[in-house]
A = this chain, B = another copy of it.
Amino acid sequence: MKKLINRPENVVAESLAGLVAAHSDLLTLSQNPLFVAWKDAPVSGKVGIISGGGSGHEPLHVGYVGRGMLDAACPGDVFTSPTPDQIEAATRAVDSGAGVLHVIKNYTGDVMNFELAAELCQAEGIQVETVLVDDDVAVKDSLYTAGRRGVGATVLVEKICGAAAEQGHKLSAVAAIGKEVNQRTRSIGIALTSCTVPAAGKPTFEIGDQEMEFGIGIHGEPGRSRMQIKTARDVVRMMTEEVVRDLPFQSGDSVIALVNGMGGTPLIELYLVFGEMIEVCREKGINVVRPLVGNYITALEMAGCSITLLKADDRLLTLWDAPVHTAGLRWGR
């Protein structure tokens, strides 16, 4: 296992310490229970937004805490759900009285623990609403999930809900926008290599030198099929067509497109993938009006990428364009 770490059991705590030290103008760290919060939260009258999940997907979620996105994030251990007490404490910490939205990726453990935390918070008189993200078209029901997995759409839901909350929308409205974003978004991912969970010390799966996994999840869980490596052009066409067919996206649609690296694929390849994707979109009459290319929801050091398309309208684009200032996503200020 070749990693820049000390002891596997301390990776998450030590990485969070570095994150918060690097962004001390923006973030505070609660140690017990563990969560990262925006320094300015709670903002009077503003809906709070929190998310969380296993670590290993950085910058998601802790890197999206700040102005115009998340008020707090609850990191679990690597690929392990956060506990209800983390989520409850974070919810309490960011509630201004306007209520708190929970953005949850659809994994069984996350869903269960967020539900339990929401019940605890509601018993304390905090309004909680939930957006469940399940945009992955690769598989229905899998290793960690009943239904579809939540992947790239999470970044878009967090950004757009964050902007809606910042603009003063009520909890029910912010939740409705988040659900709408999820419903309008589809994703698929592929991997060329496995990742290695620090505590496991060996690759999550074996994959041959000439093989790729099509439809991979963000924990290295199996996708739709194992196949021979293809050219980027062929891979990206397959990926884009799966995504387009599923919603379906149609000629004339405007989309926000995320070409996301899984952690070990360099930017030179991700931009090449973006170039191939936009060609397929063009053929189909789909207009990519907002692109995002880089490592935004990763699986440790896995080599691979995912493609996410969101069918946008003017309202969603305005929310997308609104200023954001987090460690992982920043524009407009």
Residues of chain A having any CB pair with chain B under 8 Å: 2-7, 11-12, 14-19, 21-23, 55-56, 58-59, 63, 78, 192-193, 209, 212, 229, 231-233, 235-236, 263-276, 278, 291, 293, 295, 298, 300-301, 303-305, 327, 330-333
A4 touches B269 (CB 8 A): yes
Q: Which residue of B6, B235, B298 contacts A231 across the interface (Cβ within 8 Å)?
A: B6
Are the CB atoms of A298 and B56 closer together than 8 Å?
no
A269's closest neighbor in chain B, by CB? B4
**The residue from B18, B193, B293, B295 contacting A18, defined by CB atoms under 8 A apart:** B293
28 A-B residue pairs with Cβ-Cβ distance under 8 Å, sorted by A, are: A2-B192, A2-B209, A2-B212, A4-B192, A4-B269, A4-B304, A5-B231, A5-B232, A6-B231, A7-B231, A11-B268, A11-B269, A11-B272, A17-B275, A18-B272, A21-B274, A21-B275, A21-B278, A21-B291, A22-B291, A58-B266, A58-B267, A58-B271, A59-B267, A63-B267, A264-B266, A295-B295, A333-B333
Measured in the bound complex, the distance between the Cα atoms of B278 and A305 in whole Å is 32
Q: Of the candidates B78, B266, B276, B304, which one forms a contact with A298 in the assembled complex, judged by CB atoms under 8 Å apart?
A: B266
The 3 A-B residue pairs whose C-beta atoms are closest, nearest first, are A18-B275, A18-B271, A58-B267
The docked-state distance in angstroms from the alpha carbon of A273 to that of B15 is 8
Residues of B near A263 (CB, < 8 A) are 266-267
Report yes or no: A267 in contact with B298, Cβ–Cβ below 8 A: yes
**Among candidates B22, B271, B303, residue contacting A293 with C-beta atoms closer than 8 Å:** B22
Q: Which one of A12, A270, A304 has the greatest number of beta carbons of chain B within 10 Å?
A: A270
Q: What's the least CB distance linking A321 to chain B, in Å?
A: 12
Taking CB atoms, residues of chain B closer than 8 Å to A209 are 2
Q: Which B residues are in CB contact (< 8 Å) with A233?
A: 6
Query: In the complex, A58→B211 CA distance in Å?
Result: 26
B residues in contact with A17, CB < 8 Å: 275
Residues of B within 8 A of A293 (CB): 18-19, 22, 327
Residue of B nearest to A10 (CB): B272
Contact B268 A300 (CB under 8 A): yes
A272 and B5 form a contact (CB under 8 A): yes
Partner of A235 from B4, B16, B265, B295 at Cβ < 8 Å: B4
Q: Which residues of B contact A16 (CB under 8 A)?
A: 271
- Decide: A265 near B301, CB < 8 A? Known: A4-B192, A21-B274, A22-B274: yes
Given contact pairs A2-B229, A4-B265, A18 touches B278 in the complex (Cβ within 8 A): yes
Among A12, A16, A272, find the residue whose CB has the most chain B CB atoms closer than 10 A: A272
Q: In the docked arrangement, what's the CA distance between A18 and B294, Å?
A: 12
For the complex with contacts A4-B270, A19-B293, A267-B298, 10 further pairs of A-B residues with Cβ separation under 8 Å are A2-B192, A3-B269, A4-B235, A5-B231, A6-B272, A14-B232, A21-B291, A59-B267, A264-B301, A266-B298
